[in-house]
Amino acid sequence: MAQVSKSHRVVVCTTCRHTGEICQPGLTLIAQLNAAIAAAGPTLEQSFEVSGTTCMAGCNRPCTVAFSASAKASYLFGDIGTEADIDSLTEFARFYADRADGMSRMAERPARLRHKLMARIPASLVVTEAAESLLQ
Ligand code: FES
């Protein structure tokens, strides 16, 4: 049976520069996010892939978690680690999946995440670069 690719990605940093070893909190966070997204229902579970990655340059605010999807804004959150953060990320995942361009104002994001946002990268930047490369 062909595997269906998921349209949205949540990526968790699993490396810690100060130790150079696998980041156990990051791996735990991946398992917690997978469980929370699955518990949120089949629509969300079928839309999101949760995986790990190396450093996302947020080392002073671990754990770091990124959201991305094609033609949508990307987000990087830091200081993620508590059970309440997992609930807020799941709530944000639902919002992110529903929003066509992925853009959100601070007031629209879950309260716990408002000061944990480290970057929001509009999709237009990525689209512009892709368009430029096609013209060359
Ligand atoms: S090691 Fe996690 S963001 Fe750098």
Check whether domain 8-135 has CATH 3.40.30.10, yes or no: yes
- Which atom of ligand 1 lies at the shortest distance from residue 56's CA? 3
Q: Is the CB of 13 under 6 A from ligand 1?
A: yes
Tens of pLDDT along 32-91?
999 999 999 999 999 999 999 999 999 889 899 999 999 999 999 999 988 899 999 999
- Report the mean per-residue pLDDT for the chain: 88
Ligand 1 mean position, distance from CA 131 (Å): 31
CA dihedral 54→66→79→122, nearest 10 degrees, is: 130
Q: Is the CB of 118 under 6 A from ligand 1?
A: no
Question: What sign does the dihedral 99-104-108-109 (CA atoms) show?
Answer: positive
pTM of the model: 0.86
Ligand 1 mean position, distance from CA 80 (Å): 12
Q: Are 64 and 113 in contact (CB under 8 A)?
A: no
